[in-house]
């Protein structure tokens, strides 16, 4: 008989089923596999036992411990991450209000789930599995929480990086929303100066601003020299600034613009709200000169 006892701080209801994955080989060969849960000193324990009528053989014991290590590695990577991410957020960013910590945690989980499926995450899974194999080859009692804290520091550092990234994203989004509110307040103080502005591209690929009669808006043309812009970010910043200053009653963003400058389109949508229209298909979008200069991403 081979018996392993695993203490799990953050247990899930389906843990026995998850640890039993891949054990069909033993059952097919007549071995008995059992997983029994007990509460010992307020800690959930899972007892994993393999036996047959003749006693466990060494090769079967080794194979059993390797499969158990594989399943535990999957359990840690897939189901324990959110608990330890939450602990890291609470310890490192305790000064954020509770509702903001919840938002940060959701972002951290999202980043972690994305990163663990990429190459660094796959390599990390191999390290976690190997550490468990080495441990279970020598010991039959495993405190999973202690094991994670003292033997999976690389994984914990991986979690911390995702939390830090989530905090950066949260703060950026918070600043962006505050910026949007400021622009909306500024807009509310202004009287509309132009009835309608169409935003599209000219035949050279530069931003073109047209009035309701499809003629260039002279005051906007004088405000900005599009040709000196070095990057899409420069164009987007200038476009938003100009439209805020011009305060048109309505803004129509044509397909070329919101495909090429999505950040500007998103900002204008938040600031102008219902006063912004996204044109999907019109004569202006399909005119030959405009169509030929379309720069799809």
C-alpha to C-alpha distance for 263 and 184, rounded to whole angstroms: 17
Q: Which tens digit of pLDDT belongs to each residue from 20-53?
A: 888 877 777 778 888 899 989 888 999 998 887 5
**Residues 206 and 160 grouped into a single domain:** no
Alpha carbon distances (Å) from 82 to 105, 115, 238, 266: 8, 14, 41, 31
C-alpha to C-alpha distance for 257 and 235, rounded to whole angstroms: 11
Confirm if 177 and 231 have CB atoms less than 8 A apart.
no
Q: Which tens digit of pLDDT belongs to each residue from 169-213?
A: 999 999 999 999 998 888 888 788 788 999 988 777 788 888 888
Domain count, the chain: 2
Whether residue 188 lies inside any domain: the answer is no
pLDDT band at 61 (very low <50, low <70, confident <90, very high): confident
**Residues 134 and 272 grouped into a single domain:** no
**Residues 243 and 167 grouped into a single domain:** no
Closest Cα partner for 65 from 15, 155, 139?
Answer: 139
pLDDT score for 287: 61
**Residues 204 and 178 grouped into a single domain:** no
- Total residue length of the chain: 297
Structure tokens at 80: 């324990």
Residues of the domain holding 146: 2-183
pLDDT score for 297: 37
**Residues 50 and 88 grouped into a single domain:** yes
**Residues 47 and 152 grouped into a single domain:** yes
C-alpha to C-alpha distance for 148 and 130, rounded to whole angstroms: 13
**Residues 157 and 213 grouped into a single domain:** no
**Residues 70 and 147 grouped into a single domain:** yes
pLDDT score for 80: 95
pLDDT score for 280: 79
DSSP 8-class letter at 284: H
**Residues 175 and 224 grouped into a single domain:** no
Which of 183, 207, 222 is the last residue in one of the domains?
183
Burial (CB < 10 A; 0-12, 13-18, 19+), residue 63, is middle
pLDDT band at 168 (very low <50, low <70, confident <90, very high): very high
Whether residue 23 lies inside any domain: the answer is yes
pLDDT band at 219 (very low <50, low <70, confident <90, very high): low
Q: Which tens digit of pLDDT belongs to each residue from 90-123?
A: 999 999 999 999 999 999 999 999 999 998 889 9
Rounded to an integer, the average pLDDT of 142-155 is 96
C-alpha to C-alpha distance for 95 and 197, rounded to whole angstroms: 45
pLDDT score for 244: 84
Give the burial string for 29-41 (b: 16+ CB within 10 Å, else e).
Answer: eebebebeeeeee
pLDDT score for 221: 57
C-alpha to C-alpha distance for 65 and 137, rounded to whole angstroms: 7
- Percentages of the chain per state (helix, strand, coil), in multiples of 5: 60, 15, 25
Which of 183, 203, 225 is the last residue in one of the domains?
183
Rounded to an integer, the average pLDDT of 131-148 is 95
Rounded to an integer, the average pLDDT of 241-268 is 88
C-alpha to C-alpha distance for 244 and 78, rounded to whole angstroms: 46
**Residues 123 and 220 grouped into a single domain:** no
**Residues 12 and 93 grouped into a single domain:** yes
Mean pLDDT of the chain: 85
Which of 158, 183, 208 is the last residue in one of the domains?
183
Whether residue 189 lies inside any domain: the answer is no
Q: Is the pLDDT of residue 272 over 60?
A: yes
Confirm if 211 and 204 have CB atoms less than 8 A apart.
no
Three-class secondary structure of residue 253 per DSSP: strand
Its pTM surpasses 0.85: no
C-alpha to C-alpha distance for 276 and 74, rounded to whole angstroms: 48
Whether residue 160 lies inside any domain: the answer is yes
Closest Cα partner for 248 from 183, 194, 209?
Answer: 194
**Residues 169 and 132 grouped into a single domain:** yes
DSSP string, 196-212: EEEEEE-TTS-EEEE-T
Give the residues across from 38 on adjacent strands.
45
DSSP string, 2-45: EEEEEE-SS--TTHHHHHTTTTHHHHHTT-EEEEEEEEETTEEE
């Amino acid at each position: 008989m081979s018996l392993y006892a695993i203490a799990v701080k953050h247990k899930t209801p389906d843990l026995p089923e998850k640890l039993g994955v891949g054990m069909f080989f033993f059952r097919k060969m007549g071995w008995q596999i059992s997983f029994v849960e007990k509460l010992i000193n307020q800690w959930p324990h899972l007892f994993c036992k393999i036996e047959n009528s003749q006693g466990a053989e060494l090769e079967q014991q080794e194979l059993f411990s390797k499969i158990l290590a594989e399943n535990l590695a999957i359990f840690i990577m897939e189901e324990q991450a959110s608990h330890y991410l939450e602990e890291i957020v609470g310890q490192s960013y305790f000064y954020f209000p509770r509702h903001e910590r919840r938002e940060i945690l959701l972002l951290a989980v999202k980043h972690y789930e994305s990163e663990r499926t990429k190459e660094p995450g796959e390599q990390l899974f191999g390290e976690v599995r190997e550490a468990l194999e080495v441990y279970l080859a020598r010991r039959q009692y495993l405190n999973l929480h202690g094991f994670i804290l003292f033997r999976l520091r690389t994984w914990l550092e991986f979690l911390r990086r995702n939390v830090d990234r989530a905090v950066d994203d949260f703060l950026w989004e918070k600043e962006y929303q505050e910026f949007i509110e400021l622009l909306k307040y500024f807009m509310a103080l202004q009287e509309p100066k132009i009835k309608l502005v169409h935003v599209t591209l000219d035949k050279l690929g530069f931003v073109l601003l047209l009035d309701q009669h499809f003629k260039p808006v002279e005051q906007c043309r004088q405000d900005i020299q599009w040709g000196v812009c070095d990057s899409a970010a420069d164009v987007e910043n200038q476009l938003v600034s100009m439209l805020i200053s011009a305060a048109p009653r309505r803004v129509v963003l044509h397909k070329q613009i919101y495909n090429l400058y999505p950040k500007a389109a998103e900002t204008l949508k938040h600031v102008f709200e219902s006063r912004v229209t996204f044109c999907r298909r019109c004569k202006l979008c399909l005119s030959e000169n405009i169509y030929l200069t379309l720069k799809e991403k």
